């Protein structure tokens, strides 16, 4: 929570955040490759460990390693440096295909629904996003559709204050679909802008809760054609391979249009996102790098992989 960060400027923090990301993501891989002069079995083994420890997943890691080995057999790769380049390119290409910053058209009501399993950082991310969009000149309104978790509304309310944006809320335990309905009504009556809807955390395996989200979706679409314009799935970088299952279920059931990966300021590396990008092709929007209001960064594949593989990035 780095209180001492509070008086640093945005750019300092951006840099600090990136340096941290760079350091914590896959630099291990570089250490390994640069540290050894020859391509040998030990190199591959260490490489495998680095990828798996970053949560890239055993099967995908196996594939990556196999294809590198094959290239070495065919004499296409002669040195650890080239090996490193190829690995970096492979990962970058996968991520690049899914790098897609959120683009919000002006002068219309643009609705964003934020979903995910419990505790991934939905509410916090919404606070940060509201702050950011407001800074970009958008009208922003938050909607407290997590009527289930105790004090969820109060939590979002605090973020709305922080970001200085209005909040639509109802009594606790109100039907979330009714809250959303209300919100769209009042959005339509007011000025065009971005409407961000916080939903209760739910495990993707709970049928009734997934149905509840679908119902919210349906009501939104009925009130405002095209809504929700964006469905953001918030994933926690600490999560292992189950993140792929989450992403698949939320995509298939709810229709996720973008991903946010939070808690990259920790020691977890979030490598599972590469697997998600490859297997599911969901646009990657933002990363979360802390608990403060400006700890949200656009996801940039180039930067990300550059950070992963930078030679002297520390």
Partner 1 sequence: MFESLTDKLDGIFRKLKGRGSLDEENIQSALKEIRMALLEADVNFRVVRDFIEDIRKRAVGQEVFDSITPGQQVVKIVHDRLTELMGGVSSRLKFGSRFPAPIMLVGLQGCGKTTTAVKLARLVAAQGKRVYLVSADVYRPAAMEQLKVLGGKIGAGIFAAAGLQDPIEICVQAVEEARRNGYEVIVVDTAGRLAIDAQMMDELKRIKAQINPSEILFVADAMTGQDAVNVAGRFDEQLGIDGVIMTKMDGDARGGAALSLKAVIGKPIKFVGVGEKIEALEVFHPERMASRILGMGDVLTLVEKARATVDEKEARDLEKKIRKNEFTLDDFRNQLTQIRKMGSLQDILGMIPGMKKIKALKEMTPDEGELVKVTAIIDSMTAKERRNHLIIDGSRRKRIARGSGTQIQDVNRLLKNYTEMRKMMKRMTKGGIKSLRRGNFFF
Provide the minimum distance between the beta carbon of 263 and ligand GTP in the complex, in angstroms, as a whole number. 4
Site string for ligand GTP, 245-274 (x = CB under 6 A): -----------------xx-xx--------
Window 273-292: residues binding partner 1 (CB under 8 A): 291
Among Mg ion, partner 1, ligand GTP, none, what does residue 78 contact (CB within 5–8 Å per kind)?
none
Q: Tell whether residue 149 is a contact of ligand GTP (CB under 6 A).
A: yes
Neighbour order of strands in the sheet with 167-168:
167-168, 140-145, 194-199, 110-115, 230-236, 258-262, 284-288, 296-298
176 binding ligand GTP? (CB under 6 A):
no
Angstrom distances, CA of residue 224 to CA of 102, 168, 199, 218, 310: 20, 17, 19, 10, 46
Instruction: Compute how many other C-beta atoms are within 10 angstroms of the C-beta atom of residue 252.
Output: 12
Spatial distance between the Cα atoms of 162 and 126, rounded to a whole number of angstroms: 11
The interface partner of residue 141, options being ligand GTP, Mg ion, partner 1, none and the CB cut-off 5 to 8 Å by kind, is none
Tokens of 276: 């998600």
Task: Please tell me the distance from the alpha carbon of residue 124 to that of residue 48, in angstroms, as a whole number.
Answer: 34
Query: How far is the CA of 24 from the CAs of 17, 53, 126, 270, 291, in angstroms?
Result: 10, 11, 25, 10, 17
Residue of 15, 185, 206, 314 interacting with partner 1 (CB under 8 A)? 206
**Nearer to partner 1 among residue 173 and residue 312 (C-beta):** 173
Site string for partner 1, 37-56 (x = CB under 8 A): ------------x--xxxx-
Q: Contact 16/289 with Cβ under 8 angstroms? A: no
Binding site for partner 1 (CB under 8 A): 1-4, 49, 52-55, 57-59, 62, 117-121, 148-152, 154-155, 157-159, 203-208, 210-211, 214, 236, 238-243, 245, 249, 252-253, 263, 265-269, 272, 291
């Amino acid at each position: 929570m780095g209180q001492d960060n509070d008086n640093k400027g945005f750019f300092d923090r951006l840099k600090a955040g990136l340096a941290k990301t760079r350091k914590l993501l896959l630099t291990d891989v570089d250490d390994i490759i640069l540290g050894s002069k020859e391509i040998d079995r030990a190199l591959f083994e260490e490489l495998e460990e680095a990828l798996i420890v970053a949560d890239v997943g055993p099967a995908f890691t196996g594939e990556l390693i196999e294809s590198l080995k094959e290239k070495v057999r065919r004499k296409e790769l002669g040195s650890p440096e080239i090996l490193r380049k190829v690995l970096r390119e492979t990962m970058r290409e996968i991520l690049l295909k899914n790098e897609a910053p959120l683009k919000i058209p002006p002068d219309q009501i643009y609705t964003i629904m934020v979903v995910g399993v419990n505790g991934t950082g939905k509410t916090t991310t919404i606070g940060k996003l509201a702050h950011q969009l407001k800074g970009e000149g958008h009208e922003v309104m938050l909607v407290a559709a997590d009527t289930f978790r105790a004090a969820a509304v109060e939590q979002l309310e605090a973020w709305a204050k922080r970001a200085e944006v209005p909040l639509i809320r109802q009594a606790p335990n109100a039907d979330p679909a009714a809250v959303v309905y209300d919100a769209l009504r009042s959005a339509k009556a007011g000025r065009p802008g971005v409407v961000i809807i916080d939903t209760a955390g739910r495990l993707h395996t709970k049928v009734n809760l997934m149905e509840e989200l679908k119902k919210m979706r349906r009501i939104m679409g009925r009130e405002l054609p095209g809504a929700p314009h964006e469905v953001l799935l918030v994933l926690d970088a600490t999560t292992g391979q189950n993140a792929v299952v989450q992403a698949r279920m939320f995509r298939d059931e709810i229709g996720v249009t973008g991903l946010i990966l939070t808690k990259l300021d920790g020691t977890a590396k979030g490598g599972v996102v590469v697997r998600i990008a490859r297997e599911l092709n969901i646009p990657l929007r933002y990363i979360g790098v802390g608990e403060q209001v400006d700890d949200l960064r656009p996801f940039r594949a180039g930067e990300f992989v550059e950070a992963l593989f930078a030679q002297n990035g520390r």
